[in-house]
Homo-oligomer: A and B are copies of this chain.
Amino acid sequence: MRIAPPLTFLMASLLPRTVSSFAVTSTLTRATSNSCRSASSSYEELVSEFSVHKQLERISALMHWDSMVMMPQTDANHHERGLQSAALAGVIHEKATSSRLGELIEAVDVDALDDASKVNYKLMSKIYREKTLIPESVAKEQAELSNSAYLAWTKARDSSDFSKFAPALTKCFEMSKTIASLKLGSNPDNISLYDKMLDDYEKGMPNHRITEIFDTVEEALVPLIDEVLASPHAPSTSCLSPPAGSTFPLSSQSSLNFHILDSLGFTGRSDVSVHPFTTSFSPSDVRLTSRFSPTEWYQGLAGSIHESGHALYESNLPSSPTPINSPLSMGVHESQSLFYERHVGLSLPFYARFLPNITANLNLRSYSSTEIHGAVNSVKRSSIRVEADELTYPLHVILRTRIERQIIDGDVEVADVVNSVPELWNYEMKRLLKIDIKDDAEGCLQDVHWSGLAFGYFPTYLISAIAAAQLEYYIRKDMDFEDVILNGEFSKIEEWMKEKIHRHGSYYGSLDEMFEAEFGERLNEMYYIDYLTNKYEKIYGLN
């Protein structure tokens, strides 16, 4: 009770549900006092100590959600929320690097643990080790660099002048190399810095695997895209826009969204925000957001379906906040959102199923499900990644991966390569997508990621697309996928994903390991290439 501010305190004590807010304080002491804790072993103590900072991370997710969805958007509010997050980040850092954690890690008798606990122990030790290997001064430098680099990036983008961003970007690359080598410590496995950065986002996926996979994808897609775009049978996209002079009202778009999210099995909060995202405060309280355009209905729907894939994964993870119950990797997470967005939400039976709702809610002149299916799957070359379609998107990822890998693991001075980024970028865009970039803004300044030191992040956008296609191949072995979608039996799909992916959390060391165990083979780009080839040959009537 003490913790609640005066005003909320009384309200709290007036509400039945305050049982939980009382329970809080009682759990509090259990969670913070060793003397009172009933822990029977160092491992259990370690898990319980570790869960504290996991719970705090869930709280920071709530603050983030609130600031994007509910908080009045004033500078003052963002400033204050920043200070609050700073205070929380501070204690999370303390908790995550506390000597108490170190002692408990030391004290655990690993051999006595069962398999899952061994894995969980390994994960906790790794997180602890890596966090403690970064001196606070470096963490501070990194935070301040992300901040200034972000501002430099916005300035450079607004004036479409990369040279204004180059110095900050050079620092970002150098700083992230420093951090990666600190994390590697003695680096017994002698892995490269880019390997380490990849590992942060795509656990256990080494650089050489990604290179092989991406090269094969590139080889197949470049000619396929030419073929597709040369086809005289391109589908019309007219059904995506409202009848002349009218718009798609937000209310009817969101009621269509609600109906579809509901059918897919998402039961949490769904709100509107500037950028769609999903966040989880626990498997029972996962929330997603959508946004709608008055002049194009598919992007809003696609965003919601995409987020529902993330949300179902989070909802089906084991509840207790310990590393083994966390999502395996960014690629696995995105494979779930892409599976729902593309393999469900871009499929023909999906539009057959929801045609009545779409035409009714959007008040469209009656299009057939085939026409709508064609429209939402139409392909065009775009210089902007976030506007790219399923077929051309991979090349945007390959371009970025190639450039960042070259800067991180290459032998040339970082600054020298960074200064030539615009040339590299435009050259690759021409080579891969046959697009002439007119300025840096539509070229190498379009993404925020690098200013946030998020190197090794881009590849997960393609890893996930490949994994999603491979999952469609496997799910078709277990059910009549088209019929299931046509009949709206989406719980069958969720159950399958839960069984094959969700329930594992972070038990496996990598996406490859999990696929190996579940399906007898690791990630294989051929499924993806076949899927894209068959799909677009059909839609573009190539044979």
**Stretch in A73-81, A116-124, A371-379, A401-409 with 4+ CB within 8 Å of B:** A73-81
Contact between B27 and A57, CB atoms less than 8 A apart: no
Residue from B56, B274, B285, B454 in contact with A87 in the complex, judged by beta carbons closer than 8 Å = B56
Residue of B nearest to A81 (CB): B20
Q: Is the CB of B85 within 8 A of A333?
A: no
The residue in chain B whose Cβ has the minimal distance to the Cβ of A269 is: B72
The distance from the CB of A476 to the nearest CB of chain B, in whole angstroms, is 28
Most buried by B among A51, A91, A143: A91
* B33 engages A136 (CB within 8 Å): yes
A64 within 8 A of partner (CB): yes
Contact in complex: A6, B80 (CB < 8 Å): no
Give 4 closest A-B pairs by Cβ, nearest first: A25-B143, A27-B86, A29-B140, A55-B87
For residues 380 through 398 of chain A, which have their beta carbon under 8 Å from a beta carbon of chain B? none
Q: Once the chains bind, are B278 and A28 in contact (CB under 8 Å)?
A: no
Q: Bound complex: CA of A310 vs CA of B11, how far in Å?
A: 13
- Separation of A65 and B406 alpha carbons in the complex (Å): 48
Which residue in chain B gives the minimum CB-CB distance to A143? B25
How far, in whole Å, are A24 and B448 apart by their CA atoms in the complex? 18
The A49-107 residues at the B interface (CB cut-off 8 A) are 51-52, 55-68, 70-74, 76-95
Q: Report Cα–Cα, A82/B87, bound state, in Å.
A: 20
Expressed in whole angstroms, the minimum distance between the Cβ of A288 and any Cβ of chain B is: 9
Residues of A112-144 contacting chain B, CB below 8 A? 136-137, 139-140, 142-144
A selection of 8 A-B contacts at a CB cut-off of 8 Å is A6-B327, A17-B67, A19-B147, A20-B67, A20-B79, A20-B81, A26-B140, A62-B62
Q: Which residues of A266-298 are within 8 A (CB) of B? A: 268-269, 274-275, 277-282, 284-285
A415 interface residue per 8 A CB criterion: no
* A binding-site residues for B, Cβ under 8 Å: 1, 3-8, 10-33, 35-36, 51-52, 55-68, 70-74, 76-95, 136-137, 139-140, 142-144, 146-147, 150-151, 154, 268-269, 274-275, 277-282, 284-285, 310, 314, 319, 327, 330, 333, 448-449, 451-454, 457
Task: Count identical subunits in the complex.
Answer: 2
Determine the residue in chain B with the shortest Cβ distance to A314.
B7
- Once the chains bind, are B27 and A269 in contact (CB under 8 Å)? no
> Would you give the shortest CB distance from A356 to chain B, in whole angstroms?
28
Chain A contact residues: helix, strand, loop or mixed = helix
Chain B residues with CB under 8 Å of A7's CB are 277-280, 310, 314, 333
Name the residue on B nearest A27 (C-beta).
B86
Q: Which residues of B contact A74 (CB under 8 A)?
A: 284
A400 to chain B, nearest CB (A): 14
Across-interface contacts of A35 in B (CB, < 8 A): 136-137
The listed residue (B87, B452, B453) touching A31 by CB distance below 8 A is B87
Q: Is the CB of A21 within 8 A of B448?
A: no
**A71 touching B285, Cβ below 8 Å:** yes
Q: What is the CB-to-nearest-CB distance from A228 to chain B, in angstroms, rounded to a whole number?
A: 29
Residues of B within 8 Å of A142, CB to CB, are 25
Chain B neighbourhood of A277, CB < 8 A: 7-8, 11
**Interchain nearest-CB distance for A200 vs B (Å):** 10
Cβ-defined partner of A61 (8 Å) among B5, B55, B448? B5
Question: Given A8-B65, A28-B93, A29-B140, 14 other A-B contacts at CB below 8 A?
Answer: A1-B453, A5-B60, A11-B277, A18-B150, A20-B78, A22-B146, A22-B452, A25-B146, A26-B86, A28-B86, A28-B87, A28-B89, A28-B90, A81-B285
- List, in ascending order, chain B residues with CB within 8 A of A89's CB: 3, 24-25, 28
Check A80 against B21 for contact (C-beta < 8 Å): no
A282 to B67, CA, bound (A): 13
Assess whether A15 is in contact with B275, with CB atoms less than 8 Å apart: yes
Chain B residue nearest to A268 in the complex (CB)? B72
CB-CB < 8 A to A51: which residues of B?
87
In angstroms, how far is the closest chain B Cβ from the Cβ of A302? 16
Neighbouring B residues of A29 by C-beta, 8 Å = 90, 136-137, 139-140, 143
Q: A65 contacts which chain B residues (CB < 8 A)?
A: 8
Specify which chain B residues have a CB less than 8 angstroms from the CB of A26 in the assembled complex: 86, 140, 143-144, 147
